[in-house]
Amino acid sequence: MGIAYCCNSDNSHVSIRFFSNSSFTPHSVTGACQAVHNAAGSSLAGQCNSAIPQYVAQFSTNHNSEININNPDAFDASTFTITAWINTRNNGFMTIVGRSASTQGWNFLIDSASALGICIDTSSVSNCANYPSSPELSDGRWHFVAATVSLSSPSAVLYQDGSQIAAVDYCPGTFNALSRGSFNIMGYGQGTGCCTSGQVADVQIYNTTLSSGEISALYIEGIGGVPIDPTHIVGWWPLNGNANDYSGNGNNGVPTDISYNGSWTSGYIAP
């Protein structure tokens, strides 16, 4: 929030006007920035200036409101990072991003206490989960959330608004040849039991564990942030008017019962 001071030439009257910084920030158009992979390496192309988006994805209050990604097998790395911006008033094991195949998979979620959590179901352990005590997520404000997972350790680290909120070891186990199934943004997800509702933007998936410094840098970029590691990005959905993947890997999403909201800035405070 900014403040503008106005007065007459003789200083006889002074008024104060409040304005939102976000309304004065240039809005990026759909697909303004993309990751490119070629023989020369991986890089970003286009207008990659972290400008706030024109639109965000608006999900409705039912299990079928989701974005299903067309190639779920692309997200079965043994180490990975998930990041997203989310604004919701829902909780109750609500999926943010989830990968499931048969009885295995993982689910990055908001639990029944409005806290960030992750649930990992492997070939040997079911519902291996950790739901830490963390700042409330379901408060109708925009929050940046992230998780880094190493299945070989096994460990997971959770972040909220750029800061680490939990580092946990979970029950050991491995994924046993995950194949097809689903990979979805919001929706029912793996091991969840609640409806989905709220706004989501700038979902990123990496096939490596980003450092705490890289997570903090992504948060500082804001809701229009671009991938910090183009070499390891495997999925990037800005959700700025469509569900396409701009990671350069073609993992486009199929939206069901969602809309794109151009009046989304309420509750957003730029880092």
pLDDT tens digits for 156-174?
899 999 999 988 776 666 6
pLDDT of residue 84: 97
Q: What is the pLDDT of residue 43?
A: 95
- Residue 269 domain flag: no
- Residue 192's domain comprises 26-261
Q: Is residue 159 part of a domain?
A: yes
pLDDT attached to residue 20: 46
Is 17 inside any structural domain? no
What is the structure's pLDDT at 3? Answer: 37
Torsion of Cα atoms, 32 then 236 then 163 then 158, to 10°: 170
- DSSP assignment string, 37-102: EETTEEEEEE--S-PEES-EEEE-SSTT-EEEES-GGGG--SEEEEEEEEE-S--SSEEEEEEEET
pTM for this structure?
0.86
In a domain, 18, yes or no: no
Check residue 181 and give its pLDDT.
Answer: 67
Contact between 57 and 202 under an 8 Å Cβ cutoff? The reply is no
Structure tokens at 2: 């900014």
Q: Is the dihedral of CA 17, 20, 25, 26 positive or negative?
A: negative
Number of independent structural domains in the chain: 1
**Could you tell me the sign of the dihedral formed by the alpha carbons of 169, 173, 178, 181, in that order?**
negative
Any domain includes 19: no
Residue 80 lies in a domain: yes
Residues of the chain with pLDDT under 70: 1-26, 62-63, 101, 126-133, 170-181, 188-196
pLDDT at 130: 64
**Does residue 266 lie in a domain region?**
no
47 belongs to a structural domain: yes
Domain CATH number, residue 250 = 2.60.120.200
